[in-house]
Amino acid sequence: RNLRLEIGKLWQEVSEGKKSQETKERKNIVDLKAIGKLEFQKKEIEEKIRQFNGRIEESRRKMGDLLKYDREARDLYFRLEEQLREKQHEITKIRENLNEVKVNLARVEVREEDLKKKIQEELRLSDPDEILSSEESNLDGEINPEELEKEIRRLKIQAEQIGAIDPMIIEECVETQKRYSFLVSQSEDLERAMVTLAEVIREMDEKIKVSFEETYKKVNSEFSKYFKIIFGGGSAEMIKIKIEPRKSAKEIGENETENGDIDEESRLIGDPPERREIGIEIKACPPGKRISNLGMLSGGERALTSQALLFAIISNNPPPFAVLDEVEAALDEANSKRFGRILQELSHRTQFILISHNRETMRQASVLYGVTMGADGVSKVLSVKLDQVAEKGEIIGR
């Protein structure tokens, strides 16, 4: 019985050993497959590395070719640029020579005309070229020595009668030609300047028109706003009107010629006929009234309307400071309060110096300056900051 147990144990150990051996063999087979797969992947990676190295070498070669081509292109560009400068210099010299030739040709032509006129006056010929034509006609036929001798003597006598040519005449002719060329050049420069100025004036007119329209709209809007604040309602606006410019009798007489036509120069430099002067008309209607003409408003209402327009202009383009001299003298207490509130609103951007006898305006001021004259006749200036005055009127600090 014990022997059977031992034999069973031995068979169990043998079977377990076989299983362990089979497991190891299967594991070895799996490891061999993984190793083979890794070897294959290694070969693929090495092949890709070789391909990438080849591409890198090819890219380096192409980059070197491109750099070489770039250097050659730059050298060619600089050479062409140098040649271009040389050609431009040659063209400039040719133009200078051409201008000099033109000037010399003009001088020769002027000299030729002067000689023709002098020959015409001395020989009393209607056409100076008839001498040449007569000589050519004589040469066409048979030459007679005696007649030719007579003609030579006649021409010598005429030459003696003409006399020597004064060299000062030639110099004067040259100077006159230079003066003429200079004046022609100046005239052309003036014409070009007139065209340029006309273009500049047109551009400035456009800019002024745009700026005026923008400012007009802003001021008109602010004018309506401040008018309603000051009057507690109502409406006000600015309206553009076109005014025909009037010319004086002197200007009309200067621009007209003897036959009544307008001078060409005046027509060129004068105002165009469509230009008009722009005027501004103010229409204001206080609350509870149906009037729009300023002439129908009372003195106080016109003063308030003027203040609204002044505040609109200051609001649109605030100045550093503004001086107002008793502009609210005709206002009552309620309107003075509105006036003071508007000044406080605008005082953040503009400093107001106000000359006033209105108590309500003084209450809303930041600093008061009083001028008084004593018994000795000397004026004294006193200043008080209202934010340092207590309720009882005592100054609490400096």
Over residues 56-62, the mean pLDDT reads: 84
Q: Which helix (H) or strand (E) holds 160?
A: helix 145-162
Q: Residue 221: which pLDDT band, with cuts at 50, 70 and 90?
A: very high
pLDDT digits (tens, 9 = 90+) for 315-361: 888 889 899 888 888 778 888 888 888 888 888 888 999 898 888 88
Highest mean pLDDT among 4-8, 22-26, 68-72, 313-317: 313-317
**Contact at 8 Å (CB) between 216 and 312?**
no
| 379-385/367-373 β-pairing | antiparallel
pLDDT number for residue 304: 85
In which band, very low, low, confident or very high, does the pLDDT at 219 lie, cut at 50, 70 and 90?
Answer: very high
Q: Is the per-residue pLDDT at 143 higher than 60?
A: no
Residue 290 CA: distances (Å) to CA of 192, 283, 307? 57, 11, 21
Q: What is the mean pLDDT of the chain?
A: 75
| CB crowding 167-194: b at 16 or more within 10 Å, else e | eeeeeeeeeebeeeeeeeeeeeeeeeee
Find residue 277's DSSP bridge partners.
243
Residue 244 is predicted with a pLDDT of 67
Mean pLDDT of all residues in 137-158: 65
Q: pLDDT tens across 85-130, in order?
A: 887 787 788 778 777 777 877 877 787 777 777 666 655 555 555 5
**Predicted confidence band at 218 (pLDDT cuts at 50, 70, 90)?**
very high
| Residue 263, helix vs strand vs coil | coil
Backbone angles phi and psi of 262, in degrees to 5: -75, 135
pLDDT at 269 over 70: no
> In the structure, what pLDDT confidence band is assigned to residue 378 with cuts at 50, 70 and 90?
confident
CB of 308 closer than 8 Å to CB of 219: no
For 200, the token pair is 């500049």
Query: Strands 235-243 and 277-285, how do they pair?
Result: antiparallel
Per-residue pLDDT band for 257 (boundaries 50, 70, 90) equals very low
* Residue 286 predicted with pLDDT over 50: yes
Nearest in space to 159 (alpha carbons), one of 119, 205, 210, 213: 119
What's the whole-model pTM score?
0.45
Task: Give per-residue pLDDT as tens, 223-256.
Answer: 999 888 888 888 889 888 876 665 655 555 555 5
User: Above 50 in pLDDT, residue 281?
Assistant: yes
H/E stretch holding 323: strand 321-325
Residues 200-210, mean pLDDT to the nearest whole number? 88
Quick check: helix, strand or coil at residue 141? coil
Which of 349, 305, 346, 348 is CA-nearest to residue 327? 305
What type of residue is 19?
K
- What mean pLDDT comes out for the span 280-302? 81
Compute the average pLDDT of residues 277-300.
Answer: 80
Residue 13: beta bridge partners?
Answer: none
Give CA–CA dist 174/107, Å, rounded.
7
- The 8-class DSSP code of residue 366 comes to S
pLDDT of residue 224: 92
